[in-house]
């Protein structure tokens, strides 16, 4: 599956959906390390972008995305439409990041 066929929209230009294969998802549960927490706390004193947490969030979202794509590939999907992210704090300092969408079979128009 090409990443060009992973989209937040419900259609892919030039293709039609021939079959909906169902929900695909990637879930990551991540906690901050004590060093990351201290480093981020120090960055809040200065203000601005908290790079330690920004990088952690970006890596976590990317991992959830890759797991979702792998799930779709297991289903032999051609693409994923309606992709969304969701995050929930499971407990203090522990966050679940979910990336999900609908796996589809596509046909070029």
Q: Where are the beta strands (DSSP E) in 7-64?
A: 15-31
Quick one: average pLDDT of 80-100? 92
Residue 63 CB-density burial (10 A; 0-12 exposed, 13-18 middle, 19+ buried): middle
More confident residue, 24 or 47: 24
- What mean pLDDT do residues 32-58 have? 64
- Is the model more confident about 32 or about 40? 32
User: Does position 38 have pLDDT exceeding 70, yes or no?
Assistant: no
- Count how many Cα atoms sit within 13 Å of the Cα of residue 33 in the half-sphere of its side chain: 5
For 3-108, CATH gives 3.30.110.70
- Per-residue pLDDT of 48-82, as tens digits, reads 666 777 788 899 999 999 999 999 999 999 999 99
Q: What is the mean pLDDT of residues 7-20?
A: 96
- What pLDDT was estimated at residue 36? 52
């Amino acid at each position: 599956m090409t990443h060009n066929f992973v989209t937040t929209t419900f259609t892919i230009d030039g293709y039609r959906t021939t079959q909906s294969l169902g929900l695909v998802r990637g879930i990551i549960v991540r906690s901050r390390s004590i060093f990351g927490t201290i480093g981020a706390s120090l960055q809040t004193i200065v203000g601005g972008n908290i790079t330690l947490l920004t990088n952690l969030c970006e890596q976590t979202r990317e991992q959830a995305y890759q797991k979702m794509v792998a799930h779709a590939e297991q289903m032999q999907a051609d693409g994923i439409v309606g992709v969304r992210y969701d995050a929930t704090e499971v407990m203090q300092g522990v966050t679940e990041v979910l990336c999900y969408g609908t796996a589809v079979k596509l046909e070029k128009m």
